[in-house]
Amino acid sequence: MIDRFERNINNMRISITQQCNLDCFYCHHEGEKNEGAGVENGHLTPPEIEKITQIASQVGIQKLKITGGEPLLRKDIVEIVKRTAKHMKEVSMTTNGVLLKKYAGALNGAGLKRINISFDALDPTTFQRITNKEFFYEVKEGIESAICAGLYPVKLNMVILKGVNDKDIQVAMDYASEIGAVLQLIEFEGSKEESGNSIFKKHYLNLRDWENWLKSRSVEVRQRRMHRRNKYILPSENDGKAEVEIVRAMHNSEFCQNCTRLRVTSSGELKPCLLKNDNLINIIGPIRKGASDKELKDLFEYAILKKEPYWRA
């Protein structure tokens, strides 16, 4: 479906739990600030998640990304992937990787296509500093398991935090290219209010200079329609190539103008924008009350019409 800003809303990001086994100091929790509409009745169940996905497909959504919290904490994660994959062209996931070794093969078998793994630290000390946990080696094993299981592409999400991991970008590029993964450099993101807080002021780094550096060394640049994100292909050691994508959202009106995503919170609300919480539409209540497909589709259309760019020129 096309929204008021002529964007074709064709992808959805659903959070299936607020629980996480890491405690990253910079985390935006997918923009979830409150307990939400469905929380008193527990998690969205696999049939409810499937219903939401099925209705989403009726308004033109073709790609789904499963997120959290940490999605692999859900014991029914393989069933969730299997059910949603029936309705989407592509189902992917973003995970911190801690439990991935256990699940990579089964997720691939259930229909998961691609995977993003959070990878902010190149060593155990930095990992502990960022996540407050000691699972560095589990995550590395998880990354390798995803590659072995045939999930493709594997993207390593590295949120760049000034004074913490910005010195490790080149090492991360080398590691990603060595294992055949794409490195995604993500700018630390927050709302207008959050960008005034002390953590943000201390660790925010504008990635413009890194993007220029990549541009100057790349042999090829590809642009994704979503957010107009650029992917740079660079030569790497041993005649290989490194693929690096940049996600620069802060104060970026072009990024928002090209946002084609609708979100669903873990408590069952349609969420038009990561950084806004005053325009949520409860979808799980009507599902639990037996609303018809037509009524649910109307709610999706209403949510899509509420989408508006957060950062504007």
Torsion of CA 243, 114, 65, 231, to 10 degrees: 10
Cβ-contact 202, 163 below 8 angstroms:
yes
C-alpha separations of 307 from 6, 183, 255, 256, 259 in Å: 11, 29, 14, 10, 9
Distance CA 198, CA 202 (A): 6
Distance CA 272, CA 132 (A): 31
Number of Cβ atoms within 10 Å of the Cβ of 156: 24
User: Minimum Å distance from CB 295 to ligand SAM?
Assistant: 30
Q: In this complex, which beta carbon is closest to ligand SAM, that of residue 2 or of residue 179?
A: 179
Interaction site with ligand SAM (CB under 6 A): 20, 26-28, 30, 67-68, 70, 94-96, 118, 157, 159, 186, 188-190
Q: In this complex, which beta carbon is closest to ligand SAM, that of residue 159 or of residue 182?
A: 159
Q: In this complex, which beta carbon is closest to ligand SAM, that of residue 36 or of residue 68?
A: 68
Nearest to 230 by CA among 241, 222, 239: 222
Q: In this complex, which beta carbon is closest to ligand SAM, that of residue 50 or of residue 70?
A: 70
User: Minimum Å distance from CB 284 to ligand SAM?
Assistant: 20
Cβ-contact 160, 55 below 8 angstroms:
no
Distance CA 272, CA 281 (A): 9
User: Minimum Å distance from CB 260 to ligand SAM?
Assistant: 18
User: Minimum Å distance from CB 292 to ligand SAM?
Assistant: 32
Q: In this complex, which beta carbon is closest to ligand SAM, that of residue 13 or of residue 51?
A: 13
C-alpha separations of 245 from 110, 268, 305 in Å: 27, 31, 29
Q: In this complex, which beta carbon is closest to ligand SAM, that of residue 11 or of residue 218?
A: 11
Distance CA 111, CA 292 (A): 28
